[in-house]
Amino acid sequence: EVQLVESGGGLVQPGGSLRLSCAASGFTFDRYAMHWVRQAPGKGLEWVSSIGWNGASVGYADSVKGRFTISRDNAKNSLYLQMKSLRAEDTALYFCGKDLDYRYYGLDVWGQGTTVTVSS
Amino acid sequence: DIQLTQSPSFLSASVGDRVTITCRASQGITSYLAWYQQKPGKAPKLLIYAASTLQSGVPSRFSGSGSGTEFTLTISSLQPEDFATYYCQQLNSYPPFTFGPGTKVDIK
C-alpha cells in the first residue's frame, strides 16, 4: 500500500523551530517529486515547498522562504521540512504529498497531516 | 507569481445536478493544472491532472477541460459523496505551485 506518514508537529513558541518528517512506503521514493502543503484552521490549501526526485530542485512559497528548508533522504524514503523562526501565521495542518511523476503534475498521494501550532 | 481564481466560491446544488467550477490563471499555464476534492477533516484527493486527465479510480462523472488561462471541472451528475470543497492548482510555473481559493459544493 502506498502510504505517507507525517510526524514532528507540535506546539512551539514564536521564533522557535520544528522539523517535520514524512515517511514514505509502498512506492519507489526516489522516482518522484515531493511536496509540502499546509492548511490553516478553516482556510484553504497553501503550497509550501517542493523538491525534485534527487533533491537538486527545490522551491518555496514567499511566505516561508529563508525560514523553511525542504530536504529528502532517498536511502531512508523520507521527506523533511526544517522550520525556523516560526510565526503565529505558520499554525496549520502540514501535509506531505507525492507527485505523480519525477516532474510536477499533481499530488496523487497525501499523508494524514501533522499539526503545527505556534503560540506563546 | 501566477494567481488562480475560482468561481463560484460557493455552490448549492442537488443530487443529480450538473455542476461546473471554473479556475482562471493570471497568466498562461498551458495544461499544468490539477483539481482536488477535500472533505472535512480529510486530506485532499487528486481528481484531475494535466487539466483533463482523470486520475485512476476517480468516477467518470468528473471531467476537466481547458488550457492556457481558463479551466473547468465538471461533475456530470452530482452524487451525495461529492459534497466537498474543490481546489485547482497550477504546476506550470514554480515557485509557487499556487492553489486556488476553493469552491465549496453544498447540498441545496
pLDDT digits (tens, 9 = 90+) for A81-94: 999 999 999 999 99
Indicate the pLDDT class of residue B108, thresholds 50, 70 and 90. Answer: confident
Residues of chain A whose beta carbon is less than 8 angstroms from a beta carbon of chain B are: 35, 37, 44-47, 49-50, 59-62, 95, 100, 104-108, 110-113
pLDDT of residue B21: 98
pLDDT of residue B31: 96
Contacts of A44 in chain B (CB under 8 A): 85, 87, 99-102
Q: Are strands A10-12 and A114-118 parallel, antiparallel or unpaired?
A: parallel
DSSP bridge pairs for B99? B89
Which residue in A47, A104, A111 is closest to B43 by CB distance?
A: A111
**Is B76 at the interface with chain A, CB within 8 A?**
no
Q: What is the pLDDT of residues A12-68, one digit of tens each?
A: 999 999 999 999 999 999 999 999 999 999 999 999 999 999 999 999 999 999 999
pLDDT of residue A77: 98
Q: What is the pLDDT of residues B12-43, one digit of tens each?
A: 999 999 999 999 999 999 999 999 999 999 99
Is A45–B43 a contact, with Cβ atoms under 8 angstroms apart?
A: no
Q: Smallest CA–CA separation between A20 and chain B, in Å? A: 17
Residue with cell 515517511: A23
Which residue in B43, B49, B101 is closest to A110 by CB distance?
A: B43
Q: Looking at residues A105-119, what average pLDDT do you find?
A: 97
Is B98–A47 a contact, with Cβ atoms under 8 angstroms apart?
A: yes
Q: What is the pLDDT of residues B89-104, one digit of tens each?
A: 999 988 899 999 999 9
pLDDT of residue A95: 98
Contacts of A41 in chain B (CB under 8 A): none
CA-based nearest residue to B43, from A4, A51, A111:
A111
